[in-house]
Every structure is written in C-alpha cells, then in structure tokens.
Amino acid sequence: MYARVGMKMERIPLLGLTLEELRSVAAEVGLPTFAARQMASWLYQKGVASIDEMTNISLAARKRLSERYEVGRSAPLLRKQSADGTAKYLFPTRDGQRVEAVYIPDDDRGTICVSCQVGCKMACRFCMTGRQGFQGQLTASDILNQIYSLPEREKLTNIVFMGQGEPMDNLDAILRTTELLMADYGWAWSPKRITVSTAGLRKGLKRFLDESPCHLAISLHNPFHEERAAMMPAERSYPISEMLNLLHQFDWTGQRRLSFEYIVFGGQNDTDRHARELVRLLGSLECRVNLIRWHAIPESAFSDKTADGSSSVPLVLHEADPARMVVFRDYLSSHGVRCTIRASRGQDIDAACGLLNTKEQNKGSINNEK
Ligand code: SF4
C-alpha cells in the first residue's frame, strides 16, 4: 500500500508506527509476527536510517518491505552552531515544509527541543512562530525524525516539546510520539525525561493530563488575565484561573512534574505586583517557575497587532534587567514558590522560536551551513 501524493506514489514511513501497526506490516509482506518486534528494535532502539540495515530480516523480505515502505528518516537541511554549543536545525517534513529543532548541551545533559506544528495558531505576540500563523500539523513520523535524525541523538538525555507549535493542538501525534519513546518495544525512555509544554488549550490539556505521564510545562508569562491576554490570545478562551483549577485536580507530588515558563519582559511582567500575584496563584501548587530573560529579536516589529487580529494595542517589549530578575526570583522562592533563572542559550543563532525558519522562508532558499 502506498500513500498517494498528487500523482506521485510515496513509500509509507515505518518511523511512527506502533508495535500493533508493525505487526500488520509484517503480515502484509509475509513476515512472521515476531518480525514486528525486530523492526521496532531497528527503528526505535538502534535508530537505523534504512530498511537495508535491518539485517536479521531476510534479504527477500527486506526487498518486499522496501517496495511499499521506508524508514522515513530525513537529514536536517540546515544547521546553525552557537558559540555556547547550542545547535539549531531545520528539518524537512513529509509534505515538503520545514520545522526547527534545537539541541542544547549542558554539562552531562543533552536536550532536544522539538516542533510539533508548522507555524502555530496561538498567535503569542512575542513569538516569531506565532506571527507566521498556522501552516500545518506534523505527524509522529515528522516529530520522531527531528529526534532520530539529530546528529547528537546519542547524547540526548531529555526531550522537550517546546519548539514551534502548540502540542495540545496536535495531541494525537504527541501522544503517539511519546508512547513510542517510552514503550518497551520503542526507545524505552522514562517519562521523567520528557516534557510537553502548552500555552493553554482547554480541550487538549485535560486529555493530556488524563493520558500522559510526561512532565507538563505551562507557558505563563503573566499572572493577570488582561495583561496575559494582550500577549497571548489563548488566555481569552482559556483563562489561567481556569487552567489552575484543572491543574489542582491532579497530583504533582509524584514523578510527574509541573513547571511554569515565565519569559521576563523588563518593566512589563517583573514588578512586585506580578511577583505577589504569582505567589497567590501558585503558592498552593507543587510546581516550579522558570524565569527566562527575553532578548530583543532583530527584524521583529512587535508594535503592530496580533497575527490573528485579536488585538491591535501597540506592544513594545523590553529586555529584563538581570539584577531585577534575581530580586524577582528571590521573592518567589522566599514565599514558597520554587523558582530558577534559566540561562538563555544560542542567542547568536536565531534561537528564538521560529526565527530561523522565518528567515529561511524569507530568503526562499536553504544553504547548508554545516
Ligand atoms: S509561543 Fe508557542 S504557543 Fe505561542 S505562538 Fe509561539 S509556538 Fe505558538
């Protein structure tokens, strides 16, 4: 069976299939059921890039498989290396678009930040991806390719779904991807090494909390409804107060962790008033707040209106004062809210979400800078 794309017949990617689905593939090409586990091992544990490398499957069976299927791996189109070791990649998707993934080394940790959509519907005003608008969903195969085709894959210790797109808006693909990362027949990773983020999408969040053991990160950025809504239109349909009501219904004292990402904009969300409100909102939740210093993005005119047209109030953003961030962190920590300042990484390589992709789209071409 082939996937039809226009008039062209394309092979179906095996990367992204569950064990059950691999059993159907095995049956289809006349292989015994146990071959499904062999294929899963090649795909998800050994990380092969071609069916030819599955050497414990007979040559004839590999040939039959290759007539209809392929592993589904695609190397990055572009790599940008930061002076601090961070590397940003542009990966192709199955339908010919491009998404970003970032590799962040840190002492004995290696983290990949993956994308789950091309563009994004959430229209956050500080985000280049939000300004692109929505251009399409990624499949589990597209998401796994960012991980498996990452040159630093062997060094990975953590995976975060914090790249382009809103994970709760593509939850089927996210849950399938994380299942394949965690399953014993898959990569057998612990959910403690996987974090999924959200700006807040009512429908997806409840399902994620019910079905996934992975960590959750909420993009908060402001504790006040009107101020948050001015930055993040998602707040209008799912206010943070309602999101917190939902989060309180779950246990955060076990293995699954809850964190709040808080990009600090100088003078805008780092005042005493904001600190007090954060303590009031989060004080009774087992969670952590990560403060991230915002860096001005070149060529970003944030002073017009949101991409979805929901606000036309001028927006001028300022970088935060590092000393002020320390005071802010200390206030939260001393009032019972665990808080850390996260170092900004890769500022010299268009590290802001969506910036590299936007620049390349504007250029209209890809030059491999490896
Ligand atoms: S910050 Fe995240 S949720 Fe908001 S527009 Fe950007 S990619 Fe989408």
Q: Express each pLDDT in 94-124 by its tens digit.
A: 999 999 999 999 999 999 999 999 999 999 9
Distance 267 CA to ligand 1 centre (A): 22
Least confident of 89-93, 212-216, 359-363: 359-363
Whether pLDDT at 359 is above 90: no
Whether pLDDT at 308 is above 60: no
Whether pLDDT at 351 is above 80: no
- Structural domain total, the chain: 2
Claim to verify: residue 57 and residue 198 sit in the same structural domain: no
For residue 312, the model assigns a pLDDT of: 55
The strand pair at 12-13 and 8-10 is best described as: unpaired
Claim to verify: residue 220 and residue 300 sit in the same structural domain: yes
Q: What is the CATH number of the domain that holds 306?
A: 3.20.20.70
Claim to verify: residue 275 and residue 358 sit in the same structural domain: yes
10 tagged catalytic = no
Distance 35 CA to ligand 1 centre (A): 41
Cα–Cα distance measured from residue 238 to residue 298, given in angstroms and rounded to the nearest whole number: 31
Q: What is the pTM for the complete model shown?
A: 0.91
Which residues approach ligand 1 with their CB closer than 6 A? 120, 122-124, 127, 129-130, 164-166, 199, 353
Claim to verify: residue 27 and residue 47 sit in the same structural domain: yes
For residue 34, the model assigns a pLDDT of: 97
Domain that holds residue 39: 3-70
| Angle of CA points 281, 294, 341, to nearest 5° | 60
pLDDT digits (tens, 9 = 90+) for 262-296: 999 999 999 999 999 999 999 999 999 999 998 77
Claim to verify: residue 253 and residue 172 sit in the same structural domain: yes
Out of 114, 116, 122, mutate this one to test ligand 1's pocket (max ligand atoms within 8 Å of CB): namely 122
For residue 128, the model assigns a pLDDT of: 86
Percent pLDDT > 90 in the chain is 79
Mean pLDDT of the chain: 90
List CB contacts of 229: < 8 A, sequence separation 6 or more.
235, 236, 311
Claim to verify: residue 116 and residue 244 sit in the same structural domain: yes
Whether pLDDT at 309 is above 70: no
